[in-house]
Amino acid sequence: MIDVLPAGAAGDVAATVRPVEAGVPTLDVRDLGASRGDGVFETIGVIGGHPQALDAHLARLAGSAALLDLPAPHEEQWRHAVRIAAASLPADRQGGLKVVITRGIEGTGTPTGWIVAAPASGDFAERETGVRVVTLDRGYSSDVARRAPWLLAGAKTLSYAVNMAAQREARRRGADDVVFLSSDGYVMEAPTATVILRLGDRIVTPRTDIGVLPGTSQLSVFAFAAGLGLRTEEALLPAAALLKADACWLVSSVRLAAPVTHVDGTAVPVDLELTRAMNAALLAREE
């Protein structure tokens, strides 16, 4: 684990980054990240000891912090800390970093920051075997971000209890994962992934202004797809698009692209060739 101390305006960035043995108690129980889930995070994939898509993750971290009125993260400090954390992982295994900034200990006004580095636990079989999803109503309409910005739709906050509850509901229904729908019937995102569809020669993902997280993996998939000559597009996607699509994926930073095999129990087409090419491109990403 890497403890990241407040950097101040400039200062010696390296001196603010302190490796700590995982398992050694370091978080103060009065921290608002622990007691209220009041903070933001990023999960960054690590391949061969290098963080992937670091610029995109740091940009989103700053965006989430701004939405929560947290001080802007010191970019150089976090870049430095992320590189140290990534290099601490075995170079021959895939892994991930969880980068966290909380509002800090109540009353201090000083954020707390840390990074947990961990080798990947699974074998990522779902990149080949795919996932069965159920659609669940998220309870928000597609204009939630504009109508109720205090709900922080589109920020990557520490409050993931609802997302985890949705995944448990999926398992109760015999599925692996969830696609959230807006209350007015549009495809939003998965609890920990972006939804991408292939509709003919178009690669389409839900518009982020409906209150979903802008995905870093989705950005990489779009760059890859554009290179293949496919059209890429953000759109309002009615729930029925999930059943009409020529292929559908859940994409995220560590799992990468998992093809969707079933939607609410109905088998849907899988494009294994494109999935494999997509995952090869995602694995090949540099910092």
Give the footprint of ligand PLP on this chain (CB under 6 A).
43, 189, 191-194, 213, 215-218, 251-253
For ligand PLP, give the closer residue by CB, 102 or 220. Answer: 220
CB atoms within 10 A of CB 98: 16
The alpha carbon of residue 186 and the mean position of all alpha carbons in its chain are separated, in whole angstroms, by 20
The token pair that represents 273 in the structure block = 């060739």
CA distance 235 to 208: 9
For ligand PLP, give the closer residue by CB, 253 or 279. Answer: 253
Q: Residue 284: which residues within 8 A CB-CB, separation 6 or more?
A: none
Residue found under tokens 């690590």 = 46
For ligand PLP, give the closer residue by CB, 13 or 82. Answer: 82
Phi, psi dihedrals of residue 84, rounded to the nearest 5°: -65, -45
For ligand PLP, give the closer residue by CB, 5 or 62. Answer: 62
Compute the least distance from the CB of residue 283 to ligand PLP, in Å. Answer: 14
Compute the least distance from the CB of residue 207 to ligand PLP, in Å. Answer: 14
Compute the least distance from the CB of residue 192 to ligand PLP, in Å. Answer: 4
For ligand PLP, give the closer residue by CB, 16 or 220. Answer: 220
Compute the least distance from the CB of residue 160 to ligand PLP, in Å. Answer: 7
For ligand PLP, give the closer residue by CB, 135 or 192. Answer: 192
CA distance 25 to 45: 25
CA distance 100 to 86: 15
Compute the least distance from the CB of residue 22 to ligand PLP, in Å. Answer: 21
Q: Residue 8: which residues within 8 A CB-CB, separation 6 or more?
A: none
Compute the least distance from the CB of residue 19 to ligand PLP, in Å. Answer: 25
Q: Which amino acid is at 39?
A: G
For ligand PLP, give the closer residue by CB, 182 or 216. Answer: 216
Reference 128, options 280, 285, 286, 284; nearest CA is: 280
The token pair that represents 147 in the structure block = 């109508």
Reference 52, options 219, 225, 208, 230; nearest CA is: 219
Compute the least distance from the CB of residue 251 to ligand PLP, in Å. Answer: 6
The token pair that represents 227 in the structure block = 């290179």
